[in-house]
């Protein structure tokens, strides 16, 4: 019974958050298009702060057609995935965030860039980092060893999914990046206080 109650409360929060973001989208983007600088402003991200790189990667992953804008349909699809997607869909989305050049592979530099952004966000938000005492480079090397099964120095979508689903540490590292719902809610909460 308590679990059903908790699920209902979570869904109500999600629906309320979605409604609030929809209203803000309509007000701030009457053209129906959201550009990167507007996306950052929408979520209250300091353009030079810890979350800036992460926001750019999220924006790119949300921009399905690659036109450097997010239209309302992309926005709704992205938020639906963020709040309601299953683990595999979130992992696939996460892979797109990592794959900056959109070539279908995550190389060491792309991996390092995202892990570095995640570490900076967590440090900036005073999130407990005790579970990840590794440096950025150590985390990148460990992830590559765990996930790059063919040893070619880059991670394919299949390797990414398999590695995350087979290794609890890898999954926990990816959850730092693949939990955009918490990031979205936290950014909205922060921007509401200003």
108 with 150, same domain: the answer is: yes
Give the pLDDT mean for 132-153: 90
User: Is the same domain home to 80 and 17?
Assistant: yes
Residue 13's contacts (CB-CB under 8 Å, 6 or more residues apart) are none
Q: Which domain holds residue 128?
A: 87-178
- 187, 172: one domain: no
On whether both 143 and 94 belong to a single domain, the answer is yes
Question: Are residue 37 and residue 112 in the same domain, yes or no?
Answer: no
CB 54 within 8 A of CB 43: no
User: 78 and 113 share a domain?
Assistant: no
The answer to whether the CB of 100 falls within 8 A of the CB of 60 is yes
Structurally, the chain folds into a number of domains equal to: 2
Mean pLDDT of the chain, nearest integer: 76
* Contacts with 51 (C-beta within 8 Å, 6 or more apart), sequence order: 45, 117, 121, 124, 183, 187
For the whole model, what pTM was predicted? 0.68
pLDDT band at 184 (very low <50, low <70, confident <90, very high): low
| Spatial contact of 38 and 24, defined as CB atoms under 8 Å apart | no
Q: What is the pLDDT of residues 21-43, one digit of tens each?
A: 778 778 878 888 888 888 887 77
81 and 138 in a single domain? The answer is no
Do 44 and 118 lie in a common domain?
no
Q: What is the mean pLDDT of residues 65-86?
A: 80
Q: How confident is the model at residue 3 (pLDDT cuts 50, 70, 90)?
A: very low
pLDDT of residue 180: 53
The verdict on 17 and 67 lying in the same domain is: yes
The CATH number linked to 57 is 1.10.238.10
């Amino acid at each position: 019974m308590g679990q059903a109650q908790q699920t209902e409360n979570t869904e109500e929060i999600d629906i309320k958050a979605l409604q609030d973001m929809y209203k803000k989208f309509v007000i701030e983007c009457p053209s129906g298009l959201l550009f990167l600088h507007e996306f950052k402003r929408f979520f209250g991200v300091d353009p030079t702060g810890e979350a800036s790189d992460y926001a750019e990667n999220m924006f790119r992953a949300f921009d399905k057609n690659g036109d450097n804008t997010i239209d309302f349909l992309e926005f709704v699809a992205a938020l639906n995935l963020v709040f309601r997607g299953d683990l595999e869909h979130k992992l696939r989305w996460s892979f797109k965030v990592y794959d900056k050049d959109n070539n279908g592979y995550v190389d060491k530099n792309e991996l390092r860039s995202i892990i570095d952004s995640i570490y900076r966000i967590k440090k900036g938000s005073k999130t407990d980092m005790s579970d990840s005492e590794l440096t950025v480079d150590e985390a990148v090397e460990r992830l590559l060893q765990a996930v790059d099964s063919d040893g070619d120095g880059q991670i394919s979508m299949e390797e990414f999914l398999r590695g995350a689903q087979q290794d609890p540490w890898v999954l926990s590292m990816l959850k730092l990046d693949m939990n955009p719902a918490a990031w979205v809610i936290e950014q909205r909460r922060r921007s509401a206080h200003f």
